Structure 1
Amino acid sequence: MEALLNSDYMKPMPYLLEGLLYTLLITFVGLFFGFVIGAIMGFGRLSKNKLIYGLSSIYVEIIRGTPLLAQILFIYFGLSQLLDINMHKLVAAILAIALNAGAYIAEIVRGAVHSVDKGQMEAGRSIGLTKTQTMRYIIWPQAFKRMIPPLGNQFVISLKDTSLFSAIAVGEMVYQAKTYYATTFTPFETLSMVCLLYLVITIPTSLYLRRIERRLDV
């Protein structure tokens, strides 16, 4: 046991666990705001107002059509220069995840609402509910149930995407690993533990999502 604890595989763990905290912070906070953005843009994509639909569609297509790494660099370097501010790299990371995930969540929201039978809206209107009330009390609960599995998948994707923030020196796991093995010359051992930590999170999450999917029968 002592030999294992003193091995090159375990020595970087304090640094990697520190990076894991940043990874989870960026993921959870970024996805929280990403869901807000995605819900707004998703309903915008469902709007019959051409301006709202157009703006929402432009946002979704731009974000989905460009690499996340380019978005990160644009936000941290380009946006900082444009606004003449010194943007904190953690703020830039959360903003990048929120905007990127928001575009994909917008399509999840749009698809989930579309999947609810149109007769549900007619039924709601027939009992005296307004269109907004019908959406809130009848359509949205059914749609949200169908959103849970893809939202879980988006969590896993965004979690792995945080590794790209090493490009702007955010102290997440990959950056911590690179900093560590640059001085210890143990890239194989260090990166093996990085992959293991990612798997410790993503595999149970994926299994739990499958269980929820079966339970919800979606």
Structure 2
Amino acid sequence: MMFKFDFLGKYFGKFCEGASITLGISAITVFLGIILGSILFFMKNSNVKIGKFNPLRIISSVYVEVIRGTPMLLQIMMVYSGSKLIFGIDISAFTAAIIAISLNSAAYVSEIVRAGIEAVDPGQLEAARSLGMKNSMAMKLIIIPQAIRNILPAIGNEFVAIIKDSSMASVIGVGELMFSSKIVQGATYLSLEPLMIAAVFYFMMTFLLGRFMGYVERRLKQSDIR
């Protein structure tokens, strides 16, 4: 079987354009996911009660379970279709993908934040309290800076996962890398070769990001030793 890659000269720019959109979607959604995930974590650990119930904790727990228990593809399609039907807002496919993937990422990031903070020695918080610090100040000045070192590698893994999962946005017409490969398939009448090129692009993005995050993690460990 002979593979034909002579189309690359004409369509290489299309793959590069799709890869740049994929990276853009991933960077934006990871950033928003970190913010929303942190909010979910603090909601889950809040002490606000109405009677015997803690509404913030219930809302955040239900949200995390629902998001983690349903496919991202379904969530993307529901945001894209539901925004018009339910809220009367006609949003673009790109915006719908950003919203859906960010909401999905937030559920996972909230658990990453929880695990990172719980990994910090509880004695640190007790020591801060004994010095007269409030919980909020102790979290801000002592716990969170240490937790970031625990969280960062997992956030890197989440970034890698989103780069790959963002391919699902192609089903609603977002012009990311997978969508670009479909366009090239239609233009060249080749089924496999455009997908192979897309696979190379995905691998390069995730490989380089993984190596960068590994470098950052080693630097953080070296600073701990010092």
Which bin holds the TM-score, normalised by the shorter protein? Answer: over 0.9
Q: Secondary structure at the match of 1:136?
A: helix
Compute the TM-score of the two structures, normalised by the length of structure 2.
0.89
The partner residue of 2:202 within 198, 204, 210 is: 198
1:137 aligns with 2:136: no
Aligned mates of 1:44, 1:55 — CA distance in 2: 8
Would the aligned equivalents of 1:9 and 1:189 in 2 still touch at CA under 8 Å?
Answer: no
Percentage of pairs with the same residue: 37
Task: Flag as ranges the 4+ runs of structure 1 deviating above 6 A.
Answer: none
2:191 maps to 187
Q: 1:73 offset after TM fit, Å?
A: 0.5
Q: 1:215 offset after TM fit, Å?
A: 3.6
Would the aligned equivalents of 2:170 and 2:179 in 1 still touch at CA under 8 Å?
Answer: yes
1:109 aligns with 2:122: no
Q: Which amino acid aligns with 1:55?
A: I
Aligned mates of 1:186, 1:14 — CA distance in 2: 17
Q: 1:165 offset after TM fit, Å?
A: 0.6
2:13 maps to 14
Would the aligned equivalents of 1:113 and 1:143 in 2 still touch at CA under 8 Å?
Answer: yes
Q: Which amino acid aligns with 1:14?
A: G
Would the aligned equivalents of 1:8 and 1:186 in 2 still touch at CA under 8 Å?
Answer: no
Query: Alpha-carbon deviations, 1:2-34, whole Å to 9, x = none?
Result: xxxx82344321111111121111111111111
Aligned mates of 1:10, 1:198 — CA distance in 2: 19
1:87 maps to 91
The partner residue of 1:155 within 138, 154, 159 is: 159
Aligned mates of 1:28, 1:210 — CA distance in 2: 18
Q: Secondary structure at the match of 1:11?
A: helix
Q: 1:199 offset after TM fit, Å?
A: 1.0
Question: Which runs of structure 2 are paired with 1:3-42 in the superposition (5 Å)?
Answer: 7-42=6-41
Would the aligned equivalents of 1:112 and 1:146 in 2 still touch at CA under 8 Å?
Answer: yes
Q: Which amino acid aligns with 1:37?
A: L
1:208 aligns with 2:183: no
Query: Alpha-carbon deviations, 1:134-157, whole Å to 9, x = none?
Result: 000000001111000000000000
Unaligned runs of 5+ in 2: 49-53
Q: Which amino acid aligns with 2:58?
A: G
What's the C-alpha RMSD, in Å, of the aligned pairs? Answer: 1.6
1:128 aligns with 2:127: no
1:3 maps to none
Query: Alpha-carbon deviations, 1:16-63, whole Å to 9, x = none?
Result: 111112111111111111110001101222234422111111111111
Q: Secondary structure at the match of 1:47?
A: coil
Unaligned runs of 5+ in 1: 1-5
Aligned mates of 1:122, 1:171 — CA distance in 2: 51
Compute the TM-score of the two structures, normalised by the length of structure 1.
0.92
